[in-house]
Structure 1
């Protein structure tokens, strides 16, 4: 069988890797690079030694032994290539801040600091109960947060600000997201639970490149966006941006919903699928690397590895990396009124919004998986937009297309986040 895959992000590459040696695969990628949300840059340090900074997926909880850990082991990325990420976080607005340490304790600073730290802890504890009690995915965040006995400004600046910074939406729009989808990022794992997260020393994109290198029977075509899928002579045909036509037996779309909807436009019988994909909404997120600590408190003693700044209706994050050659920062720049003096690198993402409407459509989309030879992988099929869930979507596709794949057995299992 020949399988065409559109999108060389984590889901598309993992699908190709799982099918490698079982089917002939063709992988089309819009960008000249691979990785999708695994996107790293290497600005030089003062000594001339590059430092890897991640602009997309920045850290993963390897200790949970999920799919990311099993894949890293299978690819030969041993524990020596990972470094622990400090978990301290600060929320700032108008001179007030609240620090939340990795152990869950809050340290109050001026103004609403104590209330804000309490609100962040409250979100973590409730998010754990939503998972434990199987809260319906269509319940909006505001439905469970508004009854909390907290001042209005604390709910906005300490609860809704956190998902607003992750999904690039306003504080008001964050209220309308799925509580379960939001809570997956903040759930307290309980007393004594290991809250550590890790990043690859060479950047998370190294995981993508390792996947690509080990897809020996796949043909990877970068800079060739999929433009259209059509049916001809009983087979599917993928037409790329250069006009090249590729006959395949099955198509895996590891693409944003808006792109998938466009490429299916001329495929007969795909009307319902297109309608479902049209319910997905996105926000633009722009990240930049800079050396200017312009978004952090003036007092360096109050710097933390992650700082969420609430300004107007927006909340945006800055992560701090200390290094011998000078500090580096990765900041969301999408809505900032003032930009850093010098931006060393920038990149942009389209971030899906996990609304109840999207998640309802997603459940139906999954029921159409494989219909007419068309499959979906990546965030269009996952309730939680994280790396483990993206890999789980690739595993789900591989189970349908290559159940006897030797590599599939090494990654078998789910995280529980992505199941419909």
Structure 2
């Protein structure tokens, strides 16, 4: 199935925006949803809607089967050892905060180190800032090369025997860089640290095997991989999750409650207090089915080809600065055009029916490292084509002309 055929499976992409066929180039922020996912969520609400785990009636049993069936799909999708290692969360942000608040604050103390990189999304930066402040640990950063990549030599020098936690994004939402997570994990483990991976931008696009990576925690979101909003996953090695305390308390996660004390359920339920995100979890399971039917290797190949094409086409435009390397990137290109503000670029493109993202992309420290305040970003997914890139380039030339720049 080619990209044009896949595009037809996404009803939202059939519309026109401002009189032009929609070209959606903002999948790094949130992907669109295929009809199969929409129908799965609709079917749940129409036929199976009930709370899970507690009821013995038919609807409750069907809802529980669908919810836990999705957990099994997630475990298989990332090759976790078992479903006990799969915690459903609201998204990557919640998952990373759980590790920082529960695990890091229990093991770190003054004199210890937490290591992240300079390309991290705020979701994988602020939780570690707060953990460092709460424990007295030092927050350190793996430096970046001029092209935005990480050298393993720099990781070796930054991670030391005092490091307790290393947390690095698998794929940057700005630079597009795919980081050598397996190798960084090995460095972390040699120094006695645990490895946390922000997989928000990698899981939708690359085949992920957490056991091959050997990471200790891995977080990702459903809405970036054709699934519903409001659902995410924290994978954690069972031995570590068992030692961690929950940070949310209430119904569903308890085993026994007395007047002065309580005990918790076994994994994974001790981290899923309250009514779970049932419909979204069921939708995530449908999204995994969809992506596996297409094939993650095929998605990866298509996106890398599209990103390289976009990189080359944008490079033909005078005054365009592209951030990150041409090779070894996921399907996005972040750029600026001369002194035109990215928000102005995005506004003009919207009049042409083209949706891109403009701003700091929740990476303000990285923007300062790039010496810019904001950038424009075109991000691609399995439903995009080279024609979409051609329309982007054509509209960028119109944007330059509109703002009085010479056409390159």
In which range does the TM-score fall when normalised by the shorter chain?
Answer: under 0.3
Structure with more helix by fraction: 2
| TM-score normalized by the length of structure 1 | 0.25
Query: Which structure is higher in strand share?
Result: 1
Q: TM-score, normalised by structure 2?
A: 0.25
